[in-house]
Amino acid sequence: AQKVTQAQTEISVVEKEDVTLDCVYETRDTTYYLFWYKQPPSGELVFLIRRNSFDEQNEISGRYSWNFQKSTSSFNFTITASQVVDSAVYFCALYGGGFKTIFGAGTRLFVKA
């Protein structure tokens, strides 16, 4: 069975702090994809990144970076110098066999000015 665990329910930081959102996954598939999505207060779901199981390179996009480690089954997301606009719910997700994308419970991030 596939599973995604986001142990942090809520995180609160002050603007300009760095914050890391944790994601741990379980799968028996050898080929799979991992994702992060953002859901701002307006409610829409916004895709942030996709990583396949054969690519463990870390990725950086502006203030966002992602650390994928197969050895620990983790795909963590770091926001550097957080801003109020980063306040949202962030979801980690996994797609393996079976054509289903499974989501974690989400981490709600509050960034205070």
Partner 1 sequence: DAGITQSPRHKVTETGTPVTLRCHQTENHRYMYWYRQDPGHGLRLIHYSYGVKDTDKGEVSDGYSVSRSKTEDFLLTLESATSSQTSVYFCAIPFPTSFYANTGELFFGEGSRLTVL
**Chain residues in the site for partner 1 (CB under 8 A):** 6, 9, 33, 35, 43-45, 47, 50, 52, 91, 93-95, 99-106
Q: How far is the CB of 62 from partner 1 (least distance, A)?
A: 20
Eight-class DSSP state of 98:
T
Residue 57: what residue type?
Answer: Q
- Residue 52 Cβ vs partner 1, minimum distance, rounded to whole Å: 8
In terms of CB distance, is 74 or 80 closer to partner 1?
Answer: 74
Q: How far is the CB of 10 from partner 1 (least distance, A)?
A: 11
Nearer to partner 1, 2 or 80 (CB): 2
Residues contacting residue 22 through CB under 8 Å, at least 6 positions apart: 6, 7, 8, 74, 76, 107
113 vs 57: CA distance, rounded Å:
33
